Amino acid sequence: MIYIAPSALAADFRRLEDELKDVERGGADLLHVDIMDGHFVPNISFGPFIVDFMRQSTSLPLDVHLMIERPELMLQEFQRAGADRITVHAEACTHLHRVVGQIKDLGIHAGVALNPATPLNVLDHVAHELDLILIMTVNPGFGGQRFIPAMLPKIREMRRRLDEQGLTHVHIEVDGGINEQTAKQVIEAGADVLVAGSSVFNEADRAEAIRRLRG
């Protein structure tokens, strides 16, 4: 099963509710929600206040991607705002295992994201606690960037390690530059949750765009 998660960052925020309803009707499985703090990444998006509006505008599960420093300080706020899963960056957590535990204590799914230059080894002692691993396929901060092909062997190796440890239930999510072509490649490499911003929201027919990503 392949899950498609349109990234709200690429929606037209003047008509946010309609945009979210449109991708929900179009067959999206999750709504990906990018939170940027201007420190961890060189851009600022929005906070729990807007996530709460999103929660009221769609019944899609909210897949919250925290690109923020000290994410442990904000977990509860995002869970209260409606997050169904929270993904933190390994690079932003001094005590990664503890933060993962804090997310799970909130009763929601936990994920860890890795920037393109971060090796898989940082997950060695937490993978068994996770619901998902997010392999960034661009350097985070902006929508509409080009997919980094060197991430394909990284995805393949992550899938191999999960299989080897019997962790077949852990999702591998990819984020950045996913379009019809790169979707095929990441699925073949072992990813099963595909985040797509511009390749869904920049198309007039979102249902068709989502169908094409599923391959």
Are the beta carbons of 110 and 151 closer than 8 angstroms? Answer: no
Which residues, in sequence order, are CB contacts of 98 under 8 Å at separation 6+? 72
9 binds, among ligand DX5, Zn ion, none (CB under 5 to 8 A by kind): ligand DX5
Q: Give the C-alpha separation, 36 to 193, whole Å.
A: 21
Least gap, CB of 165 to ligand DX5 (angstroms): 27
Cβ proximity of 48 and 77 under 8 Å: yes
| Segment 54 to 73, residues that bind Zn ion, using CB under 5 A | 65
Q: Which stretch binds ligand DX5 (CB under 6 A): 3-11, 15-23, 97-105, 206-214?
A: 3-11
Stretch of 16-24, 27-35, 72-80, 180-188 contacting Zn ion, by CB under 5 A: 27-35
Chain mean position to CA 59: 17
Residue the block writes with tokens 């095929």: 184
Tell me whether residue 161 or residue 198 sits nearer to ligand DX5 (CB atom). Answer: 198
Which does residue 119 touch among ligand DX5, Zn ion, none (CB within 5 to 8 A, set by kind)?
A: none
d(CA 209, CA 57): 21
CA angle 72, 77, 81 (to 5 degrees): 140
Q: Give me the residue label for tokens 């997310």.
A: 103
Write down the catalytic residue from 37, 63, 131, 175. 175
Nearest Cα to Cα of residue 140 among 172, 110, 174: 174
Q: Which two tokens stand for residue 186?
A: 């990441």
**Which residue of 27, 47, 116, 141 would you call a contact of ligand DX5, by CB under 6 A?**
141
User: Which is nearest to 17 in space by CA: 65, 48, 51, 58?
Assistant: 58
Antiparallel, parallel or unpaired: β 171-175 and 109-114: unpaired
29 as an active site residue: the answer is: no
Q: Which of 34, 37, 63, 131 is catalytic?
A: 34
Question: Pattern of binders to ligand DX5 over 65-104, x per CB under 6 A?
Answer: x---------------------------------------
Among 26, 71, 140, 190, binds ligand DX5 (CB under 6 A): 140
Q: Closest distance between Zn ion and the C-beta of residue 127, in Å? A: 20
> Does the annotation count 37 as an active-site position?
no
* 85: contact with Zn ion by CB under 5 A: no
The binding site for a divalent metal cation comprises 32, 34, 65, 175
Chain residues that interact with Zn ion, rule: CB under 5 A: 34, 65, 175
The binding site comprises 7, 32, 34, 65, 141-144, 175-177, 197-198
Q: Which are the catalytic amino acids? A: 34, 175
